[in-house]
Structures are given as structure tokens and as C-alpha cells.
Amino acid sequence: MKIGLAQLNYQVAHFKKNVSKIIDAIDEAKKQKTDLLVFSELSVSGYPPLDLLERKEFVDACMKGIEEIAGHCQGIAAIVGGPVQNHLPEGKNLYNAAFFLEDGRIKKVINKSLLPTYDIFDEYRYFESNRFFELVEFMGKKIALTVCEDLWDQQEFETDFGKSHLYLISPMDELARLDPDLVINIAASPYSYHKERVKKKIFIEKAKKYNLPVFYVNQVAGQTELIFEGGSMAVSPNGDIYDELSFFMEDTGYFDLDKVLKGRKYQSRQESKLIIQNIHDALVMGIKDYFSKMGFSKAVLGLSGGIDSAVCLVLAQRALGAGNVKALLLPSAYSSEHSISDSLELLEKLGVEHEIISIEKAMQAFKESLEPVFKGMKEDATEENIQARIRAVLLMAYSNKFGHILLNTSNKSEAAVGYGTLYGDMSGGLSVLGDVYKTDVYNLAKYMNSDKEIVPCNIISKAPSAELRPEQKDSDSLPDYSVLDQVLFRYIELQKGSESIIREGFDEGLVRKIIDMVNRNEYKRFQAPPVLRISSKAFGYGRRHPLVANYNFL
């Protein structure tokens, strides 16, 4: 049996595009004399469809697309993902299903059993759990067809408070009793930079446990905040990765089942990559897909001469092309001379056009207007925030006038502790670095310079500053980022409490101060733009904290 894995880039609710991609892949697979072509979870609808699943016309359009695809499955079988209605009188209205298509029709429907409801997942909101287990028979082989979490029943958590077994049943244990010959897993598994190893470990261990070949297919796409890396693979029964598809690009692989059964030692094409390289590629794809799927092509951002806006500009240029990106330099009385010169050097290297618009006159006008109200009061953060908001007004004016999307350049460290101005530097249509800690922003800049200098060295080496008052440095109000980011990672990603972090050797007063800053600024993050997710716990709908609460127990 020749099995093909097709990892494609789908768009939620764009049925014409998704169905066409799938049919084109089937036609190509026929030329390759493929017997079975496999696509990812909810491939026909795109993932995640969220509350569109509550609309009958959406589900009907999915089924119409699946039936159209089935009509092309002559001389080849295919597996696609989509929602299917639950016709039983009880339970949720839908199942998350894998459709086995053969001889021009839907021959078998396998429903997903384990419905994740953690982090960004909320599948039990929409789907009913399957409780009936059966195999798919094809070409004399019995296939254990699983949908994503059904093969991931055992998780690997690094938190203080979590279980490795989240479910009461193991679908694969149930299917193994039916004596299958191979396992196929269709998934929509988002990218997370410190979960790459965990994903591979799951498939390797399952192949070894059941002594069966495992074929895993993931989508590759940016879907608003979520980024899917692809990385589909075939794993031999002994746990060797037989082959692995590309990261962050569409790819199709064809595999002879008998050869996969025998196994071979394979050097993963991802093993030689740095994590920071994958983060870079993920962000580029996230920007590119967000713009193309929203129907936009051009971006604008404020270029300050600092590391965050510089890295964001490089990512945008690589995602959209230099001609589709515009930078505005918005100096104030406190902007250093090198902030302008460093920015101009970067722009020249990237071939990106720019405008320089001073905010000094606008700031003076605000001071004059507010003087009767603020008379006799010292300048403080209020005046700093006004500068940030003037810049946002100018950037949004350019965005409106020329049809550009404003890119937000704030990083995760700043967002975590509230080091940002609502309706100022927190403005934008998409947060590019909102899930990237400051230390990794520097690592991205260094990676960008690995072949030749792109980001000027002075931008990387100078002390970070918002430049909203004389001689201002981030370190005036924040701990050193090398320490801050370690505490934030433990509190946000690993969900450790203050006592646990302190026991690791961090200063007690500093830990409690940082955690208090994170908790007090939830209301700001709630109003931030969508954040491209590259970690296991990004700000956004994957981290749901109350805006009004008492966190003193932390």
C-alpha cells in the first residue's frame, strides 16, 4: 500500500479554496500511483472554526465539500476531516470526524473521542465524544484511524499542577484490541517552540507501544493567532522516524507501507535547526497568512530605533515584501540621534520606504491644552503616555489613509508586566512579538544577522529605552530582562506559584513584585490586538484570567 500525507494550508470557512486544494492533491497523488491520501483534522472547514460550528449552513457547506471530494476518489482512497451531525437524540449536535472516502462516496466516518478543553482548545463546547470504536478496512489492511487527541491521551506537563492522563479512556487501547495493521492520526496541532520534542515523543512511544507504524498528518497554516508548523511524519513500529515533512510550508510525502514497516534510521531535517530559527519561520508565516487571509497586503509600523520594532520590521519585510511595508519614524524631544540613524541604516538594508514625522509640535499642543487642568503639577507617566498615544494616532491615520494594517511591536515581557500604553504603543491590528520574550527578541536579531548584518549592531547592543523622558532606560522600572523572563516563563508557561519560583533561588521580593505586575495588568492585555502564538501559553484566548480578581494568594 502506498500512503500519501498531504499537509496543506487551509482557510477557515473558505470551502472553495480548501476543497480545490484537496482535489488538486488527490489528482497529483493519482499520478504518483498512491492508494491512500491523508489530510489533516477539519481540513475541509479549516481549523479552528469556533462558533461557525453553531451555524447549520456552515456544517451543510462542509458536507457538500466532502461529497464533492469523494466524487474524485476513483482509483484512490482519501481521508479528510470535517464536522458531522450527531443524529442521536442526546448529546452535542456535532462530532469532529475523519471521513474515509473510496469509490466516489463516503465509505466510513470515524468520530473523535477525546475533546481537548485546555489552553486554546475548546472542542467540548461544540462536539460530542465518540464512544464506539471500529477499524477501517482497506486493501486487506485494518487501519486504526484516530483524530489528533485520540492518540495523545497521555500528556507531558511541566506545571506544578497537572495530570499526565487527562481522560478516562485510551482510544488507541480500545482500537488495539481489534488488531489493526497501522495507525493513522489526522491532526490540527498548533506550533509551540518548547513542545516540538514532546510531539515527536508521543508518536515514537505510540509506535513502540503498539508495535505498529504510525502516520501523522498536520496542517501548515497561520490561522489568526494560531500557527501550525506541519511536520507530518511516518514512524516505524520500532519507534524510528521513517520520514518527516517540512516545517512551515505545504508538503506532501508518499510512503510504501512495507518499507515503513521495516524501518530505517532517519536524520530529521528539523533536528539541525535552532529553536529560534523555527520561531522566526513561524512568525513570518503567521504574518503572511494573517494578511493574505484577511485580504490585506500592506503593513505599517512605528520604527523607534529599538530592538523590538527593528525585528518586527525584518519579519514583516520577509513575510510581505519590502514594497508592502512602510515605516514611520516618529521622533520626540527625547529621541536620541542614533535612534534615527540606526533606523535609517536598517531601512536601507531592507529596502523599505519610510516617513519621518516629528511629534514635538503635537506634544506641545497637548501640553498647552491641558495646562489649565494640570497647572502646578509635575510631569509624570501621563506625559509619557500622551507621546505614545500621539504616535498611535499618526500611525492609525496612515493606516486609514493608505489601507495598511498597523503592526504592533510590543514583546511578551512588556505585555506581561504592563509596560505599555493602552491606545498608544499597544495599538495595532496584529501583535507580532506579543508571545516572544525580550531575551528571545535579541536572539531573533542575532539569528537574522547570522549570514550578514541586517539589524545594526548598535540596535542590539544599546540599552533598551522607551525614550519618553530624559535618559530613560527600561531598567529604571523593570528588572534585567535575563532575570525577568525566567520568572515570567515559570509563572506564565509553567504556571508555577511564587513559593515554587522562590525555591528555585530567585529573590523573594522580586518574584512577588513581578507576579503582582502580571496580575494587575490583565485588563490591558484584554484590549491588545491578536498575538501570534509560538509558546504553550500565549496571551489571548488560550490564557483566560479574570480582569477583576484578588490574586493575593499568589
Place of cell 515584501: 321
Instruction: Please answer whether residues 145 and 162 qualify as being in contact, where contact means their C-beta atoms are separated by less than 8 angstroms.
Output: no
Is there a catalytic annotation at residue 73?
no
CB atoms within 10 A of CB 125: 13
Q: Is 430 helix (H, G, I), strand (E, B) or coil?
A: strand
**Neighbour tally for 255: CB within 10 Å:** 19
Residue with cell 548598535: 458
As a whole number of angstroms, the distance between CA 546 and CA 526 comes to: 10
Asked if residue 48 has a cis previous peptide bond (ω within 30° of 0), the answer is: yes
Q: Which of 2, 21, 108, 112 is labelled catalytic?
A: 112
The CA–CA distances, whole Å, from 158 to 198, 401, 489, 494, 496 equal 11, 47, 11, 6, 9
**Inter-residue contact 326 to 297 (CB < 8 Å):** no
What is the grid cell recorded at 153?
491521551
Catalytic residue (choose from 62, 73, 148, 312): 148
Q: How many degrees, rounded to 5, is the angle at CA 532 between CA 521 and CA 522? A: 10
H or E segment to which residue 405 belongs: strand 405-408
| Active site annotation includes 467 | no
Beta-bridge partner residues of 430: 407
Contact 313, 327 (CB under 8 A): yes
Per the annotation, the verdict on 537 as an active-site residue is: no
- Catalytic residue chosen out of the listed positions 2, 21, 41, 438: 41
Show which residues are catalytic: 41, 112, 148
